[in-house]
Amino acid sequence: MSALTAILYAALAVYLGGWYTDQWIGNFSLLLFVLTVITFAYWLVERFHFKPAREAAAAAVETQYAQRRAALATQGITQVDGNLQEARQRVLAQPWWLDWTAGLFPVILLVFLLRSFLFEPFKIPSSSMVPTLTVGDLILVNKYHYGIRLPVINKKIIANHDPQRGDVMVFRYPVDPRIDYIKRVVGVPGDEVAYINQRLSINGKPVPVKPLGEYYDDEMRRYYPQFLESLGTVEHRILVDPQRTPYYGNSESRQFPYAQNCRYSAEGVVCKVPAGHYFMMGDNRDNSQDSRFWGFVPDENIVGKAFFVWMNFGNLRRIGSFQ
């Protein structure tokens, strides 16, 4: 068993090493599930085989010790060498391969359940959601707000709230579901979303915006016009780049499901959101790869609703909730 455990840990090290060096895309949900199953198997074997065997061996040590004391007592010897408690502890001690498998099962199970059904942490990797979220923000995502889903396969089993315009949502990238994306919901099923000349309209009505002055982007080292946008009941800040000319690729590069629902022009794009899908955009409107480029997000790709920055090591003032 120790050799098998060493092989399993070596495989885990190779997997994590390849993930860290970008040799392949890791799947943390699947990894946690596999670790939970493996450590549970070790826990069962420990609970019903190895632990009873060690306890029986400890009982045998006590019996032998008592018999030896009794035999020596008949000879008038009352001082007996050896420490019964120390010997018993050694016999009962878990070997390293059980301590690092069965011993970790409760912790891994708790993390797996919390991450799968309650809250999941994410790190913001790009500036597509500036100024709402910046590179390096560590955020929490509510996993049950949009319904309870089975881990790994992401199948919804209990419905809850539907995504609303203005929600900041984490989802599996439709082009490659192994990758998680974060954007803002701007269109729900049945909406006609238009982004023309850097202005957003929903169902023919321009979304209200108020100028807020300029925003300095530390990453790009330049100022951008900043606006307060109202999507439904949610007010949030957005950036636009007047120098950016809209270009969403050619018709060959826009081969996504329901692409026929979108019309592209030199001024922008207009899309009709199909049933069971959502139109997503970044708050950094002209610096975001979103539904304008790769299409709609199906309901089965939803991960959860982002709601809180719990840490940014470069700027502690970032900690807090956001819209």
Residue 176 three-state SS: coil
Residue carrying the six token digits 């493996």: 38
Classify residue 13 by burial, with Cβ atoms within 10 Å: 0-12, 13-18, 19+: exposed
> Catalytic positions, please?
128, 183
CA 261/CA 195 separation, integer angstroms: 14
Number of residues assigned to the chain = 323
Question: Angle at which helices 28-45 and 2-20 pack, to 10 degrees?
Answer: 170
DSSP string, 117-131: HTEEEEE--SSTTTT
CB 131 within 8 A of CB 239: yes
User: In whole angstroms, what is the distance from residue 184 CA to residue 102 CA?
Assistant: 42
CA gap 323, 234 in Å, rounded: 7
